[in-house]
Structure 1
Amino acid sequence: MLFLIILILSFAGGYFLPWWIVAIAAFGAAFFIGKTPARSFWSGFAAVFIGWTVLALFKSIPNDHILASRVVLLFPLPHNWIWLLIITAVIGGLVGGMSALSGVLLKKAVSKSDQ
């Protein structure tokens, strides 16, 4: 459930809002419905990884990957646009995973201080 909520929020937010909205979405979702730190991290990582991959493909496929192919030349990577897509998705996944982890750990810290 957490995976699906983060995926929907990050995908929808990716069209209209800045890139960092995925961090707020993952943090909020994990704070309210996250159960364990490990599950929250991997849900956030996978949801943002998939969401950013799909968003990048939606923007790159119509122009035949011209911009992505030119940007990948700036980095010490093999000259293929897929590498840029993978690295972008991994960075987004780490942002989502760490945000979700922070959300569930804050929830645990707040609930322990109430007792």
Structure 2
Amino acid sequence: MRKPDRIIASNPGTLRISIGEVEAGGVSDPRNGTLLSMFSLLNIGERTGNGYDTLREGTYSAGKPDPLLEELWEPDRVRLTLELETSGLAGFRLPGMGGESSPLVTEVEPPRVGQGNKTSD
């Protein structure tokens, strides 16, 4: 789901490793070994468990909080939230969100400082 100030991705099921292991990096436990092998043969995938680290480096360099990784229950889901850069967007329509009917950015909040990784839906 894309919102004016963030992207939220979620998948059914739970993590196969703890959130602490995800944040520490270097641990990989793929659900589909065949798919992983296919991507490796095409040289477009890694098995090093560094995806979250890559996201965190990108958000840090953009001056944004770390990605928010959550495990939700009933139903089981994993949700990842990435804040987007919104400065200078006031008055523009966001691409990929419905063409002419896409949301018009009318107000851009200043960056939140000291609030950690909390977001709301």
Question: If the TM-score is normalised by the length of the shorter chain, which range does it land in?
Answer: under 0.3
Q: TM-score when scaled to structure 1? A: 0.25
Larger radius of gyration: 2
More contact order relative to length (CA 8 Å, sep ≥ 6): 1
In proportion to residue count, which structure has more strand?
Answer: 2
> Would you tell me which structure has more helix in proportion to its own residues?
1
